[in-house]
Amino acid sequence: MAQAETYYHQNWEDIYFTGYDGIRLYARHYHGDRTKRPLLCLGDICQNSRNFEPLAQALSSDKLGNRPVFTLDYRGRGFSENDPNWKNYTPLIEMGDVVNFMSLKRIHQPTILGSGWGGVITMMLATLHRTMLGPVILNDTGPKLETNGLIRLHAFIGRLPLPTSWRKAAELLKDLYGTSFTDLTEDDWMRLAYQNFNEKDGKPAPAYDPALQKALMMLDVTKGAPIMWDQYLALSHVPVLAIRGENTEVLSKETFEQMFDRHPNCQMFTVANEGHPPLLDDDLSIERIRLFLERCDAQDEHLYD
């Protein structure tokens, strides 16, 4: 069986930093042209920096723009340390970690790509730290999320058995998400296995703290996610690219269209044959994001130090 290195040849810088409470956190920096506005990627609730690997590799390459890209592991995900207090697994606390990271690396007004949970953090950031962010990409997330879709997604968190091999990890992901992501090959599922599981002794290991389940129970999504139109409209001063998966159960078409109608500078893009959140690793999605970033560059020349 191929090892993870087969899928990921390291061309990034590993970054370790501490949160406000001393938690050791992890991020990646894909180096690019320092005169270009950087892209900061924030994943969904159980995602980590590896989930943005194809996109970050592409956009930081000479061929597709040579743009600096940062990807972040929230506390308790990926290579970041678990929080001994599971009640800290909230968008507000994790937004604080994002702010600390941006200050540490002197990232001023980046484009922020928020997938799912990361989009909620981004909208909160716009509300509480308006001047810190530049253009925004919201990936299958928005001001109103569908309760039934969230319940189905969150039902698996912290409850699945740990696969005993990488092949079984790929099969597990396909069993869970194959009806939403209908065009993926067996090799795609294997790549996703390496993204969504850590590795220990050559085998899959947990990539998020199982105590995350307790935090979700405290949020109680059965009562519906909070409506965040005010937070979304706090993004009105920056361009927004709203992305939706064609097969998603989390972001309705109605909400998606309202996001376009109610924002003064919003573009829309639907990823065919994918659910929540779209992987953003196909050529069409990468090109659509690249064009959005370059158009924003043309509108507002920005230097990053």
67: its two tokens = 């743009």
Residue 291: band (very low, low, confident or very high) from pLDDT cuts 50, 70, 90? very high
- What distance in Å separates the CA atoms of residue 287 and residue 290, rounded to the nearest whole number? 5
How much is the mean pLDDT over the chain? 93
Q: CB neighbours of 197 closer than 8 A, spacing ≥ 6?
A: 163, 169, 204, 205, 206, 207
Question: Rounded mean pLDDT of 230-247?
Answer: 98
Residue 230: band (very low, low, confident or very high) from pLDDT cuts 50, 70, 90? very high
Question: For 13, what's the count of Cα atoms within 13 Å in the CB-facing half-sphere?
Answer: 12
* Matching CATH number, 4-299, of 3.40.50.300, 2.40.50.140, 3.40.50.1820, 3.40.190.10: 3.40.50.1820
Torsion region of 131: left, alpha or beta (phi above 0 gives left; psi -120 to 50 gives alpha):
alpha
Given a contact cutoff of 8 angstroms between Cβ atoms, the answer to whether 261 and 123 are in contact is no
Name the DSSP class of 209: -
Each residue of 72-88: pLDDT tens digit? Answer: 999 999 999 999 999 99
- What distance in Å separates the CA atoms of residue 246 and residue 122, rounded to the nearest whole number? 22
Question: For 186, what's the count of Cα atoms within 13 Å in the CB-facing half-sphere?
Answer: 3
CA distances from 159 to 32, 211, 213 (A): 39, 10, 8
Residue 217: band (very low, low, confident or very high) from pLDDT cuts 50, 70, 90? confident
Each residue of 6-31: pLDDT tens digit? Answer: 445 678 999 999 998 999 999 999 99
Instruction: Tell me the domain boundaries of the chain.
Output: 4-299
pLDDT at 304 over 50: no
Residue 159: band (very low, low, confident or very high) from pLDDT cuts 50, 70, 90? confident
5: its two tokens = 């290195």
